[in-house]
Amino acid sequence: MVKPDSDGDQPAKPATITRRTLLGGAATAAVAVVQTSFAKGLQISIPQVPDDPTKQMGVPPGKVGTRSAFEKLAKNASDISSRSPLQDLYGTITPSDLHFERHHNGVPAIDPAKYELLIHGQVERPTVFTLADLKRFPSVSRIAFLECSGNFRTGKETMSPQEICGLTSQSEWTGVLLSTLFREVGVKPSSSWFLAEGGDAALMTRSIPTSKGWNDAIIAYAQNGEALRPEQGYPVRLFLPGWEGNTSVKWLRRLELGDAPWQTREETSKYSEGIKGGKIRQFSFDIDARSIITFPAYPVQIQKGWIEIRGLAWSGRGKVSRVEVSTDAGKTWKLAELQEPILDKAHVRFRHLWQWNGSETEIMSRVTDETGYVQPTFAQLIDARGADTGGYHFNPITVWQIKPDGRVLNRPENFR
């Protein structure tokens, strides 16, 4: 910034920019408490902006970017998880700080300089890899979703997409293919399973078929262009595209190759679900196809006229083939437009134009994937699995009620 000299004879001197100048000139903020859709008090800042921003110096460049003070994106956190605000996001990539979290005993602090990954068991050359070792191998990047197998909630009309199924997010994951490391250590042909163990306080462990490791598993150390966030497994996690989230073990510290599953706590008493006839289904790894309308959805209130219905669809078994939308409570269905590119085992954004005439109705979406699987209704799921089914791998069609005054409410299901 150049300050004009008073008499014009002397060279102009740079004006001094002080902290006081910046704080006085830049937007400052007050604080207030508002009620969220979760009926919780949320402290927010209220931006104080000048009447004409073109007449006042803005904030100088910073070391780390920030969101506009007008944007209030936040995860919905409990003691063991936090959910992505699906209804507030655009496109298909979830910002890293808004990626859902699921912990079994908190987020560990791991020094990357001391990090080690041991691969042993039925291998020719048991090996310990450092983080630097892993980064020396050829790397890959892949865009794919990650979803918790327990990603289902119902029971209230006042539930947003974030509350119903906010335990799914999508990132670009970067790392080394596990098949590369398998060749490096010489996995023996007799090996049909491997145990993945995390370095958290729960020592999270899951048995994984070796075929998945050879197929498309990634030892990931980066996410959306930067190192993994601590909540996502820093410095290294296993990433298994299309499989239930708990198998993508975070803070990965050990892989043991063997010829049978280990039958750990997480695959006997936890991540299994009841089905008809008193039977229990175990190792149901694939995430079934699912979709949800994210707009209009609770808590918005709409007006008569044209509305772009928007949402997300995905499948753990391949690509999304089509998404259909019903605006008359399921009587008829119309094809939605899918946003390219449609990637394998990835979130897909869909859209459908609808003219609302002010009448009460219900809107919903259903997805079909490339295997021919069609997203079921809640009643179809209960009929197939029985009333005593657990909450894992529950992917029913979500129904939104449109009230005459424009309110959009979730239609609760009778679940246990």
- Give the model confidence (pLDDT) of 376-393 as tens digits: 999 999 998 887 787 899
pLDDT of residue 259: 98
Judged against a pLDDT cut of 60, whether residue 42 lies above it is answered with: no
DSSP single-letter state for residue 24: H
Is the pLDDT confidence value at 13 over 50?
no
For the stretch 347-377, pLDDT in tens is 999 999 999 999 999 999 999 999 999 999 9
pLDDT in tens, 202-213: 999 999 999 999
> For the segment 53-89, what is each residue's pLDDT rounded down to a tens digit?
999 999 999 999 999 999 999 999 998 899 999 999 9
Output the pTM of the full model: 0.88
The better pLDDT of the pair 26, 343 is held by 343
Pick from 60-74, 323-337, 398-412: least confident? 60-74
Any idea which of 57-61, 138-142, 154-158, 205-209 has the lowest mean pLDDT? 57-61
How confident is the model at residue 2, as a pLDDT?
31
Q: Which two tokens stand for residue 257?
A: 């190759």
Query: Does the structure show a pLDDT above 50 at 401?
Result: yes
Q: Average model confidence (pLDDT) for the chain?
A: 90
Short-list 87, 167, 157, 154, CA closest to 377: 154
Instruction: Please report which confidence band the pLDDT of residue 43 belongs to, taking 50, 70 and 90 as the band edges.
Output: low
Q: Residue 273's pLDDT is what?
A: 82
Secondary structure (DSSP) of 345-385: T--EEEEEEEEE-S--EEEEEEEEETT--BPPPHHHHHHHH
CA 64 and chain centroid, separation: 23
Percent over 70 (pLDDT), the chain: 88
Burial classification of residue 32, based on how many CB atoms lie within 10 Å of its CB (0-12 exposed, 13-18 middle, 19 or more buried): exposed
Which pLDDT score, from 0 to 100, does residue 387 have? 78
> What's the rounded Cα separation, in Å, for the pair 93 and 117?
29
| pLDDT of the residue at 4 | 34
Strand partners, 223: 173, 226
Residue with tokens 């029971």: 155
Q: Which CATH class is domain 290-411?
A: mainly beta
Q: 290 is written with which tokens?
A: 């699912």
Question: How far is it, in rounded angstroms, from Cα 86 to Cα 292?
Answer: 10
More confident of the two residues 80 and 37: 80
Q: What helix, strand, coil percent values describe the chain, rounded to 5?
A: 15, 35, 50
* CATH ID of 76-280, from 3.20.20.70, 3.40.50.300, 3.30.200.20, 3.90.420.10: 3.90.420.10
Which of 298, 308, 294, 303 minimizes the C-alpha distance to 406?
303
Q: Which pLDDT score is estimated for 252?
A: 98
Nearest to 341 by CA among 311, 359, 320, 362: 320
Pairing of strands 101-102, 408-410: unpaired
Spans of all domains in the chain: 76-280, 290-411
Which residue has better confidence, 269 or 101?
101
pLDDT above 90: percentage of residues in the chain: 79
In the block, which residue shows the tokens 């000139």? 25
Query: Which residue, 253, 137, 153, is CA-closest to 195?
Result: 253
pLDDT of residue 21: 42
Residue 7 confidence (pLDDT): 36
Judged against a pLDDT cut of 70, whether residue 239 lies above it is answered with: yes
The pair of structure tokens assigned to 235 is 């410095």
Answer whether 234's CB lies under 8 Å from 251's CB. Answer: yes
Which residues, 6+ apart, have CB-to-CB distance to 55 below 8 Å?
Answer: none
Give the C-alpha separation, 294 to 161, whole Å: 6
Residue range 106-111: average pLDDT?
A: 97
Q: Are the C-beta atoms of 229 and 197 separated by less than 8 Å?
A: no
Q: CB under 8 Å to 179, separation ≥6 — which residues?
A: 213, 214, 215, 217
Judged against a pLDDT cut of 90, whether residue 24 lies above it is answered with: no
Q: Is residue 312 a contact partner of residue 294, using CB atoms and an 8 Å limit? A: yes
Residue 128 token pair: 């310990």
The Cα–Cα gap between 92 and 338 comes to 12
What DSSP letter does each residue of 65-93 carry, written as one string? ----TT-----EE-SSEEE--GGG--SSP
pLDDT of 416 reads 66
Task: Name the helix (H) or strand (E) containing 16.
Answer: none
Other C-beta atoms closer than 10 Å to the C-beta of 394 total 24
pLDDT one-digit tens code per residue, 297-315 = 999 999 999 999 999 999 9
